[in-house]
Amino acid sequence: MPEETVIRKKTALSGIQPSGNLTLGNYLGALSNFSEFTSEYNCYYCVVDLHSITVRQIPAELRRRTYEVLALYISCGLDPEKCTLFVQSHVHEHAELSWMLSCFTMFGELSRMTQFKDKSAKHADNINAGLFTYPVLMASDILLYQADVVPIGQDQKQHLELARDIAERFNGVFSPTFTVPEPYIPKIGANIMSLAEPTKKMSKSDANENAVIRILDTRDVIIKKFRRAVTDSDTCVRYADGKDGIKNLMTIYSCFTGKSYDEIEREFDGRGYGDFKSAVGEVCADGLQPVKERFDKLMADKPYLESVMRDGAEKASRAAGKTVSKVKRKLGFVTL
């Protein structure tokens, strides 16, 4: 009998910070796509709480949001039996590898990170070292699990490029050690824009609540926010340059209905913006309702969420430990 060829299942990794209430952008650009990866990839999904403390957090809120992000992962379709769900700070190898890789990261590389510049401007009273070295920790998150693919938004592409550079640099010095990861950017839904300023990405830290749809908003709030969405002086629903607000709403409507932009244009031909904004609000509220119902049940069962955390941390630690042991051996550390 001929031997069967064993094909290694590729690995995917993604993480979300427990800082702020997650938005429609987080849902359409990331969470709603994650469950599709579990059949094709060996998936690790992380609540990246270590990353969140580059900005001052209220401890009680950080703890609550850590539970909430884990509950949202599951509410959005992730099965803890089919993927590894864990909290970053429960796996010490993240911080350990971050230090080792920081010694293979150039100061100039970190200085060019646009997010460091942006966050420094927003938090001028707290420009800490963690804010500067944040991309090294992100690289460690990815490289620890030998991730082949990392689902990211456009704003994280620069950080993934740095992770690739660090991996290649270490591999070049010490022989192949890390898998060099590739980005996965969804074709649609990757950039959901602000409802108030549609040239800016929707942000969970936006002070204007009308600009942001939060995953856990009530149905009435979601519909009201869409009705207030900024559009333009035209009345025609078209996906065209200069119509940023309408393009954003069409993207959202397409994500929830599966309809193409041409189909949406035909559906709302002659109906005006009022009808369209109400329709987008309705499909969004309908799409998020099952997520919210599942979330409420999970948040009422903290022991279950903690069991998922424990099991996930054990699985993640086994994989992460193998990588850290390999790195230590190549660096020349004495192991006992």
pLDDT at 326: 96
Specify the pLDDT at position 188. Answer: 61
User: Looking at residue 166, what is its pLDDT?
Assistant: 97
Instruction: Name the average pLDDT for the chain.
Output: 90
Indicate the fold that domain 11-185+302-331 takes in CATH.
Answer: Rossmann fold (3.40.50)
Residue for token pair 């290649």: 168
Residue 119 has pLDDT above 80, yes or no: no
The residue among 179 and 123 whose pLDDT is bigger is 179
Which two three-digit tokens encode residue 92?
A: 């010490």
Spatial separation of the C-alpha atoms in residues 296 and 75, rounded to whole Å = 9
> CA 149: distance to chain centroid?
13
- Delimit the domains of the chain by residue range: 11-185+302-331, 209-296
Burial zone of 336 (CB within 10 Å; 0-12 exposed, 13-18 middle, 19+ buried): exposed
Q: Is 216 exposed, middle or buried (0-12, 13-18, 19+ CB in 10 A)?
A: middle
Extended strands (E) in 118-274: 149-151, 182-184
Query: 9-32 pLDDT, tens per residue?
Result: 899 999 999 976 889 988 888 888
Q: What is the pLDDT of residue 190?
A: 64
pLDDT tens-digit readout, 223-251? 999 999 999 888 889 998 889 999 999 99
| Cα distance between residue 192 and residue 32, in whole Å | 13
* pLDDT score recorded for residue 65: 94
- Predicted confidence band of residue 125 (pLDDT cuts 50, 70, 90): confident
- For the domain spanning 209-296, the CATH number is 1.10.240.10
**Most confident option among 33-42, 83-92, 203-212:** 83-92
Paired strand residues for 43:
12
Give pLDDT tens digits for 172-226: 999 999 999 999 876 665 689 999 999 998 988 888 999 999 999 999 999 999 9
C-alpha 7/C-alpha 9 separation (Å) is 6
Query: What six digits make up the tokens of 95?
Result: 């911080």
Contacts 24+ apart (CB under 8 A), 318-323: 319/44, 319/84, 319/144, 319/145, 319/146, 320/91, 320/93, 320/94, 320/97, 320/144, 320/145, 321/93, 323/93, 323/97, 323/143, 323/144, 323/145, 323/146, 323/178
Residues 45-54: what's their mean pLDDT?
94
Q: How confident is the model at residue 335 (pLDDT cuts 50, 70, 90)?
A: confident
Looking at residue 160, its pLDDT comes to 92
**Residue burial 219-238, b: 16+ Cβ < 10 Å; e: rest:** eebbbebbeebbbeeeebbe
pLDDT value of residue 37:
81
Catalogue the active-site residues.
119, 201, 204
Q: What is the pLDDT of residue 300?
A: 97
pLDDT score, position 127: 84
pLDDT at position 1, please? 44
